[in-house]
């Protein structure tokens, strides 16, 4: 059964440089009633102050999708990937057996606003991987646009998880 959870009912952490709302238990926020929904483990609504971000840190056994709403996010990882994603870009990092990465606001002044989405993989382990695709506003205006799927169908990023993510501009 689906339950509506209002934005102000989510977990919240404000670290000054990072203002984050957690739909599910995450970091210091724990709510046994909100651990995950199917394969969806994390849905964080993050605002990162200019010039700030997360230094190198590790992940494993998770599919991490980043969707930038405004501003820019600079990414670097131990697989040799490095780019700056902006609104309309969807980034997928498969942590697999383990990956180190950093994420910083791509601007020294402007705030970055993004959704960080973690999906449980179909199988643990596997090689880490990275993928990034752009989805134009016209493709999302007034309709749902598939941006992430288990098999990469319709030009979406491949998450190899029992989930699909759609974006829309309404």
Enumerate the domain spans of the chain.
8-133
**148 CB burial (10 A radius; 0-12, 13-18, 19+):** buried
Number of C-beta neighbours around residue 127 at 10 A: 9
pLDDT digits (tens, 9 = 90+) for 81-127: 999 999 999 999 999 999 999 999 999 999 999 999 999 999 999 99
pLDDT score for 132: 97
Q: What is the pLDDT of residues 27-60, one digit of tens each?
A: 999 999 999 999 999 999 999 999 999 999 999 9
| CB burial readout 28-56, b (16+ within 10 A) else e | ebeeeebeeeebbbbbbbbbbbbeebeee
Q: Which CATH class is domain 8-133?
A: mainly beta
Q: Is the pTM of this model over 0.85?
A: yes
Question: How many whole angstroms separate alpha carbon 161 and alpha carbon 119?
Answer: 7
3-state helix, strand, coil in the chain (%, to 5): 5, 50, 45
What 3 state SS string does 92-115 have? EEECCCCEEEEEEECCCCCCEEEE
Q: Identify the pLDDT of residue 3.
A: 81
């Amino acid at each position: 059964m689906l339950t509506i959870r209002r934005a102000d009912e989510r977990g919240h952490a404000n670290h000054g440089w990072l203002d984050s709302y957690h739909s599910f238990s995450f970091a210091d926020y724990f709510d046994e009633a909100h651990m995950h929904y199917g394969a969806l483990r994390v849905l964080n609504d993050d605002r990162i102050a200019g010039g700030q971000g997360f230094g190198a840190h590790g992940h494993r056994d998770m599919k991490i999708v980043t969707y930038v709403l405004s501003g820019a996010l600079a990414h670097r990882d131990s697989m040799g990937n490095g780019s700056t994603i902006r609104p309309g870009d969807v980034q997928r990092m498969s942590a697999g057996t383990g990956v180190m990465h950093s994420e910083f606001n791509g601007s020294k002044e402007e705030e970055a606003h993004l959704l960080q989405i973690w999906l449980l993989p179909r199988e643990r382990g596997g090689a880490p991987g990275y993928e990034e695709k752009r989805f134009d506003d016209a493709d999302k205006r007034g309709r749902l646009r598939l941006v992430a799927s288990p098999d990469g169908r319709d030009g979406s990023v491949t998450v190899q998880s029992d989930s699909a993510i759609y974006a829309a501009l309404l």
